[in-house]
Structure 1
Amino acid sequence: MIGAAFRLYLVAVVLQYAFFSAFGIPFWANVCITVFLIWVYTYRAGIKTIVWTDTLQTTFLVLAVLLTVYTISKLYVTADASGVFQRVYKSDLSQVFFWDWRSPHFFWKQFIAGIFMTVAINGMDQDLMQKNLTCKSKREAQKNMLVFSVLFVFVVILFMSLGGMLYQYAQHAGIEVANAGDELYPLLALNHLGGAVAIAFLLGITAASFSSADSALTSMTTAFSIDFLRLDDLKNSTKMKYRKWIHLGFAALLAVVIVVFHMINDENVVIALFKAAGYTYGPILGLFVFAILFRRKVQDRLVPFLALGAPLLTFITSAFSKQLFNGYEFGFELLILNGLIMLLGLFFISEKK
């Protein structure tokens, strides 16, 4: 829920900046309209709709980035697309290797945390796994994961390069973007890069957020209906009635979480998303590793308390890390610490079978 809200929050901010503010429509109404649109098309056809709409949305997203890169390259007098990439590559904006072990950006810290983050966010999330489960066979699901992984590397490099290009273009054009943050891309796309880029950007950013929120809404409805309420044991007519109300309830809850996040957020959404993932996915990671490594029987009634206690203890450790660990600051490796605390806790509340 938190992950989907963060992603959808980004498109809500852009739409507010581009359209709704001009008509005096408040942010909460913007969020309600956006979530309602997602609810309508997921309500009608579920996962089948999502598979097709995600394909279209991903296409729009990548095309928007490519068009932006092309436009920026033409706005430099002597540059082509490869020249713009070269500028980013040679600048400080492309730095990957940070060797200060106390820094949140320390390379090995980020690298190892990234491995666990990928396992947790992709491998243990119903949101993403449900698409593999719709494949006709295990082989097709494996092919889907491999193709996705390879393509994802190139898409991430493209997006990271675009970030550098936007900052360099702003500096080149004398545009002040020091405090733009998440509004950097909309600021430039809607006001400085021409109508074609503005339209492509709006389509792309909307597609990106919708494609994550729609699958999250469907997966939460499915998981809550089957795993918590055991609706599979009921008659089809009764089951469908309950699922419709659950679907609507999760849509309303998603809108509330976005509005609350808008009220309290004070940092970049992507950073906030991964920080939140470190807390919300940690217990899941701990449970998964425990189930793989050990054949022990846990005391089930204590597991929910442990799943709440592990993130809380992680937060306290992170808050006082400088004092406790000689200036060391936690970054995204909070997920590993959280999962480890959960794993140790499970070991202590379990016994050999």
Structure 2
Amino acid sequence: MNSATILLLFVFVYFIGLLVIAYFTSRNSDNQSFFIGNKKSKWWLVAFGMIGTSLSGVTFISVPGTVGKMTAGENPFGGFEYYMMVVGFFLGYFIVAFVLLPLYYRMNLTSIYTYLGRRFNVEAHKIGSVFFIISRSIGATARLYLVVNVLQIFLLESLGVPFFVTAGVILLMVLLYTFEGGVKTIVITDTLQTSFMILSLVACIVFILSSLDLSMSEAYAVLSEKQYTHLINTDYNSKTFFLKTVLGGMFITIAMTGLDQEMMQKNISVDNLRNSMKNMLTFAATLLLVNFAFLFLGGLLYLFAMENGAVYGHLVQVIEGKQTITNAFGFVGTEGTITNIMGDDLFPALSLQGYLPLGISIIFLIGLISALFPSADGALTAVTSSYCVDLLRLNEDTTRTEKQKKAARMKVHLIFTVVFFILIMVFKAINDKSIVYLIMEVAGYTYGPLLGLFAFGILTRQQIVRKGAILAVTLIAPVLTYLFNTWVSSVSSYQIGVELILINGLITFLGLWLIRDKSAPLYTR
């Protein structure tokens, strides 16, 4: 039995474990348990499980890979610059905990976009849901593509398995264990998967430190000497200038967590507001530590690749022999200087191509799969919930029996699985190697209108009653944002980075202010 077969066997066993959990958690389930877990989720389970959902394959693969980009002269991000965005995330979670969660609990929401319906009108409710469905579908499938592509290149391609089969089988796995239980199931499975992800992270750090014969402090000193720990970018023209990275990260969290049904449906499944806030703040603090550990691991991976001469030479041979990895590494010089590493492939190449022991490869693969499933199961459940609650209005439908409602929800669940598959194939055609930044940039365009719409509802008491007005603003705002971004790049050296979401949100807010109905009575909270 070769190593690839052994690794795939572990994936199969892992999935069987998820099915067993799904079987026990989905018994006697109904639509409410699927949508919000009957509001019986334990806050500490949700907090821990949300780490896996938030990190996903992007953090597991792309974040370690960004560390070496500083020496390659690449942008965005390099060294530990990504951590400035994590600091922004941390600040954003406080806004979510103290502003948005109290609002959602006070209104006893199943879908957070119901707030827009009560604050404005049915049109706003549906617009919020549609923007979420588009945003989450694109973001989740981009993350899925990253992991599926890694499995394809480094494991399954050698066995003759086509990419579309790999993507289809993984989505079928996710569908099977979320089909009945929904949130009630994924609160448990995400906790398990987060545990495996962190175990994999720690095990890989310990092994590489031991292999390099370095303590943590010694390794950090070496990384600092090679400028891999560079943290603060003071070039205000750069996309990763630290102030706009922190600010952008904060608003990305507000939008992609606080205004995102996937993340919030887990929070509002907790029994009360106090526990839900504890969940959010615990989760925020943990992410600071975990993201730093992934960046530290990234630096160690580059040291391992450079300082192990045998591994280094073998990587060059792999490049010359296999077209699929040609773009993954670029090595020049007699002493092994790395000049152009496409970081997303560094961790999987070392782990799955025989450069690390089989035991570490197994741990890496389990961690990778554990990063894949939380980003897929939660997204699939959330878009299904949002479509059923916000667009089909199943919760308010008195013409169908509970059995008919459940059948309708399952049909929607299946349809979105197919949509996810199509989007993964689109990302395969695009084949972008810097997926971590692509996701942030796309989020700036798709979550910006949600940010502006919620901000207008919370910060003002103005009403908008004209039919089609909100739709017009939320469609025009991303277009104006794109045009503004293009114009700035053409007339100056300044590069708009993750603050794109804030610009889009401000344009949406101003547009709503301009079309407000001055004659309508002010909204009464």
- Category of TM-score, reference length = shorter chain: over 0.9
Q: 1:203-233: per-residue Cα shift (whole Å, max 9, x none)?
A: 1111112111101110111110011011121
SS of alignment partner, residue 149 of structure 1:
helix
Structure 1 equivalent of residue 472 of structure 2: 305
* Equivalent pairs, count: 351
Q: Paired residue for 1:52?
A: 188
User: 1:102 offset after TM fit, Å?
Assistant: 0.8
**Aligned equivalent of 2:442:** 276
> Partner residue of 1:107?
242
- The counterpart of 2:348, out of the listed 183, 186, 203, is 186
Give the Cα–Cα distance (whole angstroms) in 1 for the partners of residues 284 and 370 of structure 2.
20
- The match for 1:198 among 343, 361, 364 is 361
Checking the alignment, whether the CA contact within 8 Å between 1:64 and 1:204 is kept in structure 2 is yes
Counterpart residue type for residue 144 of structure 1? N
1:306 CA drift (Å) = 2.2
| 1:78-227 to 2 correspondences below 5 Å | 78-174=213-309, 175=312, 177=329, 178-190=340-352, 191-227=354-390
Deviation at 1:90, TM superposition (A): 4.2
1:75 aligns with 2:211: yes
d(CA) in 2 for partners of 1:82 and 1:59?
Answer: 25
Give the superposition deviation at 1:271.
1.0
Aligned pairs for 1:9-24 (under 5 A) are 9-24=145-160
Is this contact kept in 1: 2:209–2:300, CA < 8 A? no
Give the superposition deviation at 1:61.
Answer: 0.6
One-letter amino acid of the structure 2 residue matched with residue 120 of structure 1? A
Larger helix fraction of residues: 1
- Structure 2 equivalent of residue 316 of structure 1: 483
Hey, what does 2:403 align to over in structure 1? 237
* Residue pair 1:57, 1:208 contacting (<8 A) in 2 also: yes
In structure 2, what is the Cα distance between the partners aligned to 1:300 and 1:95? 51
SS at match of 1:56: helix
Structure 1: tracts of 5 or more residues without a match: none
* Higher alpha-carbon deviation: 112-121 or 80-89: 80-89
Say whether 1:335 aligns with 2:335.
Answer: no
Bigger Rg, which one? 2
Distance 2:225 2:277 in 1: 37
Structure 2 distance, partners of 1:172, 1:320, is 45
- Contact 1:287–1:343 at 8 Å: present in 2 too? yes
Q: What SS does structure 1 have at the residue aligned with 2:463?
A: strand
* 1:240-287 per-position Cα deviation (integer Å, ceiling 9, x unaligned): 111011000011101111110111133311111111111111011001
* AA at the equivalent of 1:183: D
Distance (Å, rounded) in 2 between the aligned partners of 1:169 and 1:300: 60
**Cα separation, 1, equivalents of 2:493 and 2:382:** 41
Q: Is the 8 A contact 1:70 1:81 kept in 2?
A: no
What CA deviation, in whole Å up to 9, does each residue of 1:27-57 have, x standing for no partner?
Answer: 1111111111001000031111101110010
- The aligned amino acid for 1:5 is T
CA distance in 1, matches of 2:404, 2:302: 55
1-structure distance, mates of 2:467, 2:384:
24
Q: Quick one: distance in 1 between partners of 2:385 and 2:452?
A: 23
Matched to 1:198, the amino acid is S
Q: How far off its partner does 1:87 sit? A: 2.5
Letter in 2 for 1:180: M
* Aligned partners of 1:72 and 1:193 also within 8 Å: no
* 2:456 partner letter: F
CA–CA distance in structure 2, aligned partners of residues 280 and 173 of structure 1: 44
Say which SS state the counterpart of residue 432 (structure 2) adopts: coil
| Identical positions, percent | 38
- d(CA) in 1 for partners of 2:511, 2:372: 36
Please tell me whether residue 286 in structure 1 is matched to residue 452 in structure 2.
Answer: yes
Structure 2 gap segments, 5+ residues each: 1-136, 316-328, 330-339
Structure 2 residue matching 1:309: 3-state secondary structure: helix
Distance 1:278 1:156 in 2: 21
Q: CA RMSD in A?
A: 1.5
Instruction: Note if contact 2:237-2:495 (Cα within 8 Å) is conserved in structure 1.
Output: yes
Q: Distance in 1 between matches of 2:180 and 2:222?
A: 47
Moved more, 79-88 or 22-31: 79-88
CA contact (8 A) 1:69 1:81 kept: no
